[in-house]
Every structure is written in structure tokens, then in C-alpha cells.
Chain A
């Protein structure tokens, strides 16, 4: 078998130049809704252009560079327009039942593109290296971990996020997009429901296709000469009108560019600073100390304490749905002992600089666990009535060495060294480490995080979740369909909330993928009749009585 000859034959019969770059279009393509896919595509072009500019300087340069800030704003609004066009395109194709007439693969590939786009958008938010990415990284990690994906994908590993966002995912999107566009162009736009003129579908379709196979441009239906077999089958009996694919693309690109540039110039993009140890220690020392002692206590203020996989091997702590606990399948792939790694190890660094902290730390480590808990609990309780006047003043009590240790942690934070101390560890390749799990998750629990963030940037907007908005800017609104499940108290309050929502959304996505072959549901657009509006000219024309020709 000659593969090249086979490919030539396929292209000659099924994907001709007229299919790829059409200059004629069926007359039922007569609504602006047909432009939504082009809007998404052109917004993607702007994403790629602005993304290349951003990538040239690395993930953080744009914060302090006017060109970088502008490129970031263009990238941000291109993404907004991309999802705007993509979701409108998806809605349109649903209402048109665009999977009909053997187009199920186009539908499936389109949905995979939507999924890949959403995941790429998520990594983009994580890559902003600002407050938004800090917030979303610590929120999204729970979903990833609950689904078992966290064993391989760490939302707080900026190095991994970067390579995924600028290399692996764009390549995947390019491949899917190429296939999607190929299928669209090969098959031509889906025909309106119930439109086949009587007597046309059978023999004439066969004759038209046979003409294409014979390479006879004049055979069959003259108006379809040049098209491949699939288009001929689809467009048989349909009047065509002039069309210019490239012209349409350029016009839509111009529209997208004007919209995006205007928003980038006049609105800009959110770029709020992160919540750092220094922020919290300086502005909210009690919250800082509560968090630090909470980590040693392993209470609710410890974002990673008692978490289970992928940080600890305690499978019983993993979210589970009946007997299924995806998080436990891969064990502790990124082990973190919160008390040791987040507090005691940084304190040991402090003790090396200031020996005054060495003795309390040694005393604490030497004490029995019951004694440690007693000191920690007393200190934690005392913080509720502590006064702050520069130093934190506690009521009298038996805190053992904990008070001195916590003063050491507070000094570390106020000096802006907490993140550095957390990064220091047994890394033979230091300082090369792009995993910021410890630094980002230190304050990733509600009270200190929200309070400090509110003070810094949130302007009294106590949102949570991954569709987070800062200021007046939209967040990842295209993930609202995911986020909205957390609004149901029965889900939000469940121990396995993340796994529940992931399961619901996976089932929903599978339902959408299989929509073309689910009896009843695949006829839903026909029942909804929205297509009657979009194709109203066509149906009006079809309803006209046929005037006999005089010749």
C-alpha cells in the first residue's frame, strides 16, 4: 500500500481546496452566531502573540515593566474573549444539533478543546505569580488532590505550571484545534433540521458523490463542483452564496484586536501583590502566631496538617466516595510534615542566627508530646486575649518554651525571611526549586488569609473558590459551572466536597461528550427549537410555494 498515494486520494476526494478554503457557503449560514468560533480562534491568536511576549521574560518580569504589564493585560483580555467566543460557539452548536450527519467526532474534539482550554486557563491563572495565582493555587490544589491528579500535578509548583502552560498544553490545543478545523471544513456546516427536499436525499446524493470520485467537476450538481465527497453529500440541493473565509477571519481578527487592546489600555489587568509572611506578621501578628502554633497543634489553621495524600501517607484522611479514594492511590508523592517542615525547621534556622532561640527549641523537642500539647494549647488560648503593641503581650501562663519559639517565628516573618526559611531544606540543587507548596500554603486557611487579603486587596469581597475575582475584574467565570456546586450546603459542608464536585463534573462532561449518541438527549435541540430563530430565513424560504418554471 502506497501511503502517499492513499493520502493524495483522500485529499483529492474528501478534503479539496474548496473544502479547506471555501469561496461558497450554503445560504442557511446566515446568522452572526456562525462567527463565534472565529471570535474564539482569533482571540486564541492574540493569546499566542501576547503569550510569546510574556514568555520571553519569564513568569514574573511583567510586574515591574510597562511593556510587560501591557502584554499581560492583552493576554488577560484575550483569554476573556477566547472563553466568551468559545462558550457562545458551544451554545450555538448545541442548539443547532451540530453533531448530526456523522459529525460526532467534530463535537467530541470541540469539547476536548474546551476542556483543554479550561485547564490551560487554570495554569495561566496559576502562572500570574501574584495574589490571584497564590489564592487559586491553594484553592485548586484540593480538587487536584481529591481527584488523584495532585500526585502528578502540583498547582503550587510554578516550574511545572510554567512548562505545562507554555509548552505541553498549547501543543495539545494546537493538535486538537487542527483536527477540529479539518473536520469542520471537510464536512461543511450542518444542515437545518427537517430540511431535506423530497426526492433529493437518495439517488442524487449518490450521483453527486460518484461525480466527485470520478474527478468530474461538472458531474452531479454543478454548483458543488470542487467540493469533496462529504461536502457534496451534505450540501446537495442547497443553494450556495459567495463567501470569503480569509476575509471573514481578518475582519474578526480586527474586531478581536480592537476589543482586546481597548480593554487592555483602558481597564488593564489585575495584578495584586501576594500575601507574604512579612505582611501577616506585620499587620496581623496574632493571626500569624495563631497560624504558626496551629501548625504545631495540627488544628484547622494548618492548611496541610492531617491532609493525607499527597503530603502524608494517611490514606484515611483522603477524600473518598464510598470505597473510592483516588488521592490514596499514589501515596505521599510530595511528603510534607507541617510541624517539622513549616515551623520547627525554620526555627532551627533562626536559632543558628540567634542562639537565644536554640535553647527553647531544644527544650520543646525534648519534651513529652503531652507536655508539648499542653504548652501549645495554653499559648493558643492566650493569643485570644493577647495585646499587640509592637511586641505581642500575653497574659501570664505556662507556655514553656513555646512563647520564645513563637517570638522567633514572628521575628522571622517581620524580617521578611519566612519564605526563605521555608525554602531552605535538604535540596542538593538549591537554590533551584520551583515548588512553592510550603510558602504558598502556610497561610492558606481562612482567617489570616482572608483578613490579610481583605486588608491588602479584597476590598471587603469575601469570595472563595477558584472562580475568584479581584477588584472589579472578572475571574475564571467559565468555571462557574464547577464552582456553583459548592454553593449547595450539603456539598460544601461534606468532608469529600471536592471529590463530590469532581465526580459530578466528570459525569456531566462525559454526558456532553456522549450527547450525539444518547437517544432522546441527542434530539433535545430539535425540541428546544432555538434553531428555528437562527435558520429562520431558510425555513421561510422552504415554506414558499415552488413557482413552476416557464421554460
Chain B
């Protein structure tokens, strides 16, 4: 299984559908989870803790 099916992007060399030339069996749903992890971490690092957790008296 490749990261993306080569037929999805005709003309792009086969190498670019692999990880440094190694075909990857980790497919789309799992890969999506990791991409989501990265995006959420970066976004959260820039977001301040919402005031509602302060629970002022």
C-alpha cells in the first residue's frame, strides 16, 4: 500500500508515493489520524487556555 495511489497523480514519479523509496502499508485512515495529531498539536500550542476553566467565584 502506498501513501497515495500513484494513479491519483499521473506523471508524478513513483518514488514520491513512497517514504524514501519504501512502499508504505500504513494507509489513509491511519495516516489521517497522525496528520490530525500533528495539526491539533500545533494549533493547541498557539491557543490559550479558555477562560471558562478558570471558574472564577
Contact = CB atoms under 8 A, between A and B. Distances in A.
Question: Are A and B co-members of a single complex?
Answer: yes
Interface of A: 23, 29-36, 80, 84, 87-88, 91-92, 241-244, 247-248, 251, 461-465, 467, 469, 472-475, 477, 480, 483-484, 486-489, 530, 533-534, 537
Given A80-B33, A477-B34, A483 B54 contact: no
9 contacts: A30-B48, A30-B49, A31-B47, A87-B37, A88-B44, A242-B54, A242-B56, A480-B34, A489-B22
Most buried by A among B24, B36, B45: B45
A35 B56 CA distance: 18
B8 interface: no
A467 B49 CA distance: 34
A463 B27 contact: yes
Contacts of A489: 22
B56 A31 contact: no
Nearest to B48: A30
Nearest to A38: B53
Contacts of A487: 19, 22-26
B44 A31 contact: yes
Contacts of B22: 487-489
Contacts of B56: 242
Contacts of B32: 474
Given A474-B32, A477-B34, A465 B25 contact: yes
A467 B24 contact: no
A469 B29 contact: yes
Given A487-B25, A534-B45, A251 B30 contact: no
B57 to A, nearest CB: 7
Q: Which A-B residue pairs are the 4 nearest by beta carbons?
A: A244-B55, A477-B30, A32-B44, A474-B29
B14 interface: no
Most buried by B among A462, A467, A474: A474
Contacts of B45: 31-33, 530, 533-534
A84 B25 contact: no
A34 B45 CA distance: 9
Contact of B53 (A36, A251, A467): A251
A88 B47 contact: no
Most buried by B among A92, A469, A489: A469
B16 interface: no
Contacts of B47: 31-32
A33 B44 CA distance: 5
Given A84-B36, A84-B37, A463-B1, A537 B48 contact: yes
Contacts of B57: 242
Nearest to A478: B33
B12 interface: no
A398 B16 CA distance: 52
Given A31-B47, A84-B36, A469-B30, 12 more contacts: A32-B50, A33-B45, A84-B33, A84-B40, A87-B37, A242-B56, A243-B54, A463-B27, A469-B28, A483-B25, A486-B25, A487-B19
Nearest to A530: B45
Contact of A34 (B28, B49, B52): B49
A474 B34 CA distance: 11
B41 interface: yes
Contacts of B48: 30-32, 537
A474 B55 contact: no
A287 to B, nearest CB: 22
Contact of A474 (B33, B44, B50): B33
A461 B27 contact: yes
A36 B1 contact: no
